[in-house]
Amino acid sequence: MGKKNKGAIMGPILAEFGIKKIDDRQLLAGLEKKFGSEGRRIYQQFDEFSPAGITEEELEQRLKAKDDPFNQTELYDFENTSLEAGMLFTAYADADVISSFSQWLYNNQSFLGKNILEVGCGNGILTAFLARLCPQAHITAVDRSANSIAVAQQVKARLKLENVDFLACDVKDLPAAAYDTVISLRTLHENTRPLWTPFRFLPFSQQLELFRTLYHAHISCLCPFVAEGGHLLAIERVTPGIPLLACLQEMNDGGLFPASPVGEVHARETNLMEPTAFASLVLTKSETRSAENVFCFWSGPLFGDPEDPRFWPEEQVDYELEKMQETLLAGYASYTPEGMQCAQSSIHSIKNDPGHFLLLQANLETKRLGYFSNSRQSEVLSLLEHQKLRDRQSGCQIRDLHS
């Protein structure tokens, strides 16, 4: 295992199916070339399925209209109506993802055992890479999209892969079994409802509990499939803040603890200008660690100087505010005309520190926590009134906060 470099393994697979990064114009041209006049209709219908480029306000409206505004199974069934269509959409949406993810798997091949379960395998291109990277291993690859699995079976036949079984099913419907390695690539967000800006204005512990509740069903389903001493390899769209802590705590409850520091894998999806930063995790099935150990593992590389709030990341702002505050003294929240909270400013008294107060200022992009002497409280209250007036003039709805 590992005698060939990554390019020597993946290159022939990509060449066999003509997968190279294409843009919107090339996607449309490719669909029209393969499907004639039907190609433009397919392209327009794909745009309705895809969440790429949607604003948060548009997402909020879709959430109100439909519980699952972007049904991933429907999307993948649509993309993989045939081998030709599947490879075109893969080239458009995932060419860079395949390159980055396969490199990460190659770099972490020492954690790949003889019996591998891949969850959410899609149309099997990355599975084919795994099969050739680990020819002595047996891979069970599952996906809920029947069309994706149908295309994956064609990929398997074309590449003459003998060490892979593709199954069209949800992982929760698999018979109980223990695998040396379980691989999950972008499945967490696809199995949880999108939740966006409303969370960021809640207290730290509420955010953490909500994300844990959100992730619980999927993570608790994956953990039992990892054999004792085995590994879970995951690349997920999880930000390094509270969502990652929630993810790690849920995995810890399932007996999984990181075998190495959490990393990042960067890959450009669809036509997005900036690469997405995915969290990459290697976890080992072992005894459950204490909640304090999990918190320290998460906060150690993330938190700044505990004595200097000027350099705290927003996750530390939430944590320290909840730990230090005693009473909300004054504040307000701003909402867009559509009713989505977009900002908050508030001042708080401090436990065991009657001579000072905290000032929280948060919007959709930043959070800051200031530490001030009580002698400046009237000055800060005037600042809040000025900000409130400015937000109201910009069209925001204002709601005063009360303890």
pLDDT one-digit tens code per residue, 113-168: 999 999 999 999 999 999 999 999 999 999 999 999 999 999 999 999 999 999 99
Residue 335 forms part of a structural domain: yes
Phi, psi dihedral angles at 123 (to 5 degrees): -90, 15
Give mean pLDDT, residues 242-268: 94
Residue 309 forms part of a structural domain: no
Structural domain containing residue 362: 324-400
Q: pLDDT class for 173, splitting at 50, 70, 90?
A: very high
Name 233's bridge partners: 183, 282
Q: What angle do CA 6, 9, 14 make, to 5 degrees?
A: 105
Phi, psi dihedral angles at 363 (to 5 degrees): -140, -160
Q: Is the pLDDT assigned to residue 54 strictly greater than 60? A: no
- Which is more confidently placed, 324 or 51? 324
pLDDT exceeding 70 applies to what percent of the chain?
91
Shared domain check, 139 and 255: yes
Residue 314 forms part of a structural domain: no
| CATH code of residue 245 | 3.40.50.150
Phi, psi dihedral angles at 68 (to 5 degrees): -125, 85
Shared domain check, 158 and 88: yes
Shared domain check, 266 and 172: yes
Please name which of 69, 280, 95, 266 lies closest in space to residue 185, comparing C-alpha atoms: 280
Interhelix angle 146-159/6-17, nearest 10 degrees: 110
| pLDDT, position 269 | 84
Q: pLDDT class for 245, splitting at 50, 70, 90?
A: very high
Q: pLDDT class for 69, splitting at 50, 70, 90?
A: very low
Of 258, 282, 299, the position where a domain reaches its end is 299
Shared domain check, 338 and 213: no
Question: What is the pTM for the complete model shown?
Answer: 0.89
Residue that has been written with the tokens 């295309």 in this structure: 151
Q: pLDDT class for 19, splitting at 50, 70, 90?
A: very high
Shared domain check, 337 and 190: no
Residue that has been written with the tokens 């069903």 in this structure: 217
Shared domain check, 179 and 31: yes
Count: domains in the chain: 2
Shared domain check, 252 and 140: yes
The helix (H) or strand (E) run that includes residue 16 is: helix 6-17
Both tokens assigned to 25: 């114009």
Shared domain check, 371 and 277: no
Give mean pLDDT, residues 328-336: 95
Q: pLDDT class for 194, splitting at 50, 70, 90?
A: low
Q: Answer whether 173's CB lies under 8 Å from 150's CB.
A: no
Residue 305 forms part of a structural domain: no
Instruction: Specify the amino acid at residue 268.
Output: R
In whole angstroms, give the CA distance from residue 210 to residue 233.
24
The SS3 assignment for 361 reads strand
Q: Answer whether 31's CB lies under 8 Å from 45's CB.
A: no
Shared domain check, 164 and 123: yes
Q: What angle do CA 360, 361, 366 make, to 5 degrees?
A: 125
10 Å Cβ neighbour count for 199?
15
Residue 308 forms part of a structural domain: no
Name 353's bridge partners: 350
